[in-house]
């Protein structure tokens, strides 16, 4: 079996699909007794070996799939293997919503939360911020539940890199459904971005900039605004910091058809059909691309963007497009936006792994002065010791993993590298 991008063939000996939490608990306990390793596999959208294992993959798609809404408490209990797209549709039917979505709705809730996946928005934290409780099967095979009331251990476990247990369900905070309008603007002057990054990134509920870092303008700015009830629709803005509204739907890659992108042109629609860039109905089974992403303090966005622009010619042969987003701070120990309002510099590369890997150290050297934290699920070359130093609670996480999984049942080569 391969990951979504097809750049990694998993080394797992086999995959198994438990049909109940009890069966899953048996599986994990049995593996622990035999000294074997197991690993939860989500929707396979990571670009590195974080989800790989030399042992057995556990796929959760046959666990009970009910989505249980508790409107009074404003939470929903979600099976970990469900995709955000399916969850969004279930919530919208009942009149509820999440605070944000990633660019693609096809990723599993469990896998996305474990790696600190995020959307964009100055005031919008990563998807994990919605988590109020997780249910998991521990390395011993025992089921466990952690909620915000468990304090420190909860904060250490939600973004857990798959190291602390197999998450079977999550409880997420929900809010009443809302409408969003999405508009794409073209040719945003770099000067506007570099002069007041916060003004540009904060002009909307969610703003994404798509660029190749060359030239005087950013190719596209995607602006998503929440429709305020009873405020009337108003006219679509005719400019965005000097950028002009696109006259037809756009794909982030100029040469690509926009048919698989969510509705643009400022047409209001439900949150789940506007916050992701890509439509849920369009199911890409594989992608001819690689991805890399770094999060760093938003206050240093302009400096970091200048540093990457200086590398534009070096990146050009490998880069499809780069996306610049913002992520609000959260409290999860290993979240790349831990206690840091962040700017996220994302790179969609051509599927040239060797060449991409050879350019990453240069890119990372340019971003190192800003304490850039790599996305856990994408390609990076930052040495483990450097990563550890970027997270104030890293040692606490290492201790928590050693305590909760002393025999290394959930370990894999990735965790062995990162945690030592
Ligand atoms: C086209 C595309 C677009 C993307 N867009 C974004 C984006 O907008 N923002 C962003 O931040 N990222 C984005 N990503 C990255 C993606 O969100 C992450 O890689 C995410 O982890 C994918 O979830 P998954 O279920 O596919 O994880 P997998 O690759 O299957 O697994 C990832 C990790 O989670 C663990 N895991 C999975 N399920 C469980 C579970 N139930 N219990 C415990 N551990 C578990 C795995 O063991 C592994 O360690 C994108 C990726 C692609 C391919």
The CA distance from 182 to 169, in Å, is 31
The CA distance from 132 to 109, in Å, is 13
The CA distance from 241 to 281, in Å, is 33
The answer, yes or no, to whether any atom of ligand 1 lies below 6 A from the CB of 344, is no
Name 145's bridge partners: 135
Q: What is the pLDDT along the chain (420 residues), one digit of tens a residue?
A: 999 999 999 999 899 999 999 999 999 999 999 999 999 999 999 999 999 999 999 999 999 989 999 999 999 999 999 999 999 999 999 999 999 999 999 999 999 999 999 999 999 999 999 999 999 999 999 999 999 999 899 999 999 999 999 999 999 999 999 999 999 999 999 999 999 999 999 999 999 999 999 999 999 999 999 998 766 666 778 899 999 999 999 999 988 889 999 999 999 999 999 999 999 888 665 578 999 999 999 999 999 999 999 999 999 999 999 999 999 999 999 999 999 999 999 999 999 999 999 999 999 999 999 999 999 999 999 999 999 999 999 999 999 999 999 999 999 999 999 999
CA of 234 to the centre of ligand 1 (A): 38
DSSP annotation of 107 reads S
- How do residues 300-332 score in pLDDT, each as one tens digit? 999 999 999 999 999 999 999 999 999 999 999
The CA distance from 28 to 137, in Å, is 8
Domains defined for the chain, CATH in brackets: 180-270+287-382 (3.30.70.2520)
Structure token digits, residue 417: 């590298």
Of all atoms in ligand 1, which is nearest to the CA of residue 377? Answer: 19
The CA distance from 415 to 163, in Å, is 7
The answer, yes or no, to whether any atom of ligand 1 lies below 6 A from the CB of 103, is yes
SS3 content of the chain, % helix, strand, coil (to 5): 30, 25, 45
Number of H helices, E strands in the chain: 12, 19
CA of 240 to the centre of ligand 1 (A): 32
**Is 160 in contact with 405 (CB distance < 8 Å)?**
no
Name 180's bridge partners: 226, 269
The answer, yes or no, to whether any atom of ligand 1 lies below 6 A from the CB of 80, is yes
290-297 and 268-270: which strand pairing?
Answer: unpaired
The answer, yes or no, to whether any atom of ligand 1 lies below 6 A from the CB of 111, is yes
Residue nearest to atom 1 of ligand 1 (CA): 104
Q: How far is CA 251 from each of CA 183, 185, 190, 200, 271, rounded to the nearest angstrom? A: 12, 12, 20, 20, 19
Whole-model pTM: value is 0.97
**Is 410 in contact with 336 (CB distance < 8 Å)?**
no
CA of 162 to the centre of ligand 1 (A): 10
The CA distance from 180 to 351, in Å, is 33
Q: According to the model, what pLDDT value does residue 399 have?
A: 98
Q: How many CB atoms lie within 10 A of CB 19?
A: 10
What is the DSSP annotation of 306-320? HHHHTTHHHHTTTEE
Task: Output the average pLDDT for the chain.
Answer: 96
In the β-sheet with 166-173, what is the strand arrangement from edge to edge? 68-70, 75-79, 166-173, 131-137, 143-147
- How do residues 349-381 score in pLDDT, each as one tens digit? 999 999 999 999 999 999 999 999 999 999 999
CA 317 to mean position of chain CA atoms: 26
């Amino acid at each position: 079996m391969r990951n979504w991008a097809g750049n990694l063939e998993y080394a797992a000996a086999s995959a198994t699909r438990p049909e109940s939490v009890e069966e899953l608990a048996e599986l994990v306990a049995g593996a622990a007794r035999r000294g074997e390793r197991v690993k939860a596999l989500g929707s396979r959208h990571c670009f590195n070996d974080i989800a790989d294992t030399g042992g057995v993959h556990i796929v959760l798609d046959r666990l009970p799939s009910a989505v249980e809404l508790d409107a009074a408490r404003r939470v929903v209990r979600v099976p970990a293997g469900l995709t955000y797209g399916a969850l969004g549709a279930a919530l919208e039917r009942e009149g509820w919503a999440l605070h944000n979505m990633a660019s693609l709705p096809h990723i599993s809730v469990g896998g996305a939360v474990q790696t600190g996946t995020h959307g964009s928005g100055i005031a919008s934290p990563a998807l994990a911020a919605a988590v109020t409780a997780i249910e998991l099967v521990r390395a011993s095979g025992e089921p466990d539940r952690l909620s915000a009331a468990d304090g420190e251990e909860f904060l250490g476990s939600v973004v857990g890199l798959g190291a602390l247990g197999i998450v079977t369900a999550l409880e997420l905070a929900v809010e009443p459904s809302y409408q969003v309008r999405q508009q794409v603007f073209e040719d945003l002057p770099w000067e506007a971005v570099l002069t007041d990054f916060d003004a540009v990134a904060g002009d909307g509920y969610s703003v994404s900039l798509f660029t190749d870092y060359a030239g005087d303008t950013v190719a596209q700015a995607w602006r998503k605004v929440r429709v305020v009830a009873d405020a009337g629709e108003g006219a679509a803005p005719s400019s965005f910091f000097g950028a002009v509204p696109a006259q037809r739907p756009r794909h982030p890659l100029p040469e690509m058809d926009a048919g698989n992108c969510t509705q643009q042109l400022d047409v209001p629609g439900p949150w789940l059909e506007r916050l992701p860039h890509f439509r849920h109905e369009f199911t890409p089974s594989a992608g001819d691309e690689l991805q890399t992403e770094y999060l760093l303090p938003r206050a240093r966005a302009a400096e970091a963007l200048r540093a990457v622009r200086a590398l534009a010619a070096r990146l050009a042969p490998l880069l499809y497009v780069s996306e610049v987003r913002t992520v609000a701070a959260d409290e999860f120990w290993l979240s790349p936006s831990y206690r840091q309002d962040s700017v996220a510099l994302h790179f969609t590369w051509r599927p040239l792994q060797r060449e991409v890997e050879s350019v990453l150290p240069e890119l990372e050297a340019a971003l190192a002065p800003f304490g850039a934290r790599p996305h856990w699920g994408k390609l990076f070359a930052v040495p483990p010791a450097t990563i550890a130093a970027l997270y104030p609670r890293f040692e606490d996480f290492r201790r928590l993993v050693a305590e909760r999984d002393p025999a290394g049942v959930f370990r894999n080569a990735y965790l062995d590298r990162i945690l030592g």
